[in-house]
Structure 1
Amino acid sequence: MRHKFHLLWLLISLECSSSQKPTSPMTAATVNCSNCDSNASCEEHGDLHRCVCREGFTGDGATCFDIDECSHTDLNRCHSLAICINNQGNYSCSCPKGYKGDGYHCEATTGFAEDCVGINGSRSCVDPCLSHTVLEQSWRSMSYGSGSNCDSDKIGWYRFVGRGGTRMPETCVPKRRCNTFAPMWLNGSHPTSDTGIVNRIACANWEGACCYWSIPVQVKACVGGYYVYKLDGTPTCTLSYCTDPKYIDNPCPQCNTEEECRLENGEWGCYCSTGYPSSDISSLEPQLECGANEIKVSLEKCILNQMGIHNAVVYLRDYKCAGFEEKQNRTMISVVTHTQSGQCGTQLTKNETHATYSNTLYLADGTVTREDEIKINFHCSYPLDMEISLETAIQPIVSSVNISTGAAGVFLVKMALYRDQNYTSPYEGAKAILSTEDWLYVGVMITEGDTSQFVLQMDNCFATPTENATDPLKYYIIQNRCPNTQDSTIEVPENGVGPQGQFSLQVFKFVGNHNLVYLHCEIRLCDTSTETCKPSCSKIGSRRAAEVRVDTYSLTLGPLFQRGFPSEAGSAAASHALQGACVTVLIPATMSLFLHSFT
Structure 2
Amino acid sequence: MDNGSSEAIILQQPFKYFGRTYSQIFVNNNGHLTFNEQLSVYIPLLNSGRDIIAPLWTHLDNRRGGTISYREDTNSAVLAQVNAALNQYFPNLPLPFNTTSAFVATWDNVPYSSGEGVVTFQLVLLSNVDHSFILFNYGNIAETRQQWLAHYGTVDFEHSYTCSLLTSSELSYNSNVNINGRWVFQVYNVCDTLNCTRNEVCHYRDGYGCGCLEGQRPNPESFDATEFCSSSTGTISLSRCQLFESYFPPEFLHLNDPNCTGTVEDGRVLFHFDNEGHICGTTLSSNNTHFIYQNSIHSILPTGVITRERWMNITFSCVYPLIQTLSMPKDIQAEQSVISIDLPGQGTYQIYMIPYHDAQFTHPYEGDVEVQVNQQMYVAVEVEGVDRSQIATVLDNCWATPVNDSEYQIRWNLIKRECPNPEDGTVKVLQNGIDTTSRFSFRMFTFTGASDHIFLHCKVHLCLVQNGRCAQSCNPGRRRRRHRSLDFHHSAAITIGL
| TM-score, with structure 2 as normaliser | 0.38
Structure showing greater radius of gyration is 1
Q: Which has the higher contact order (CA 8 A, sep 6+)?
A: 2
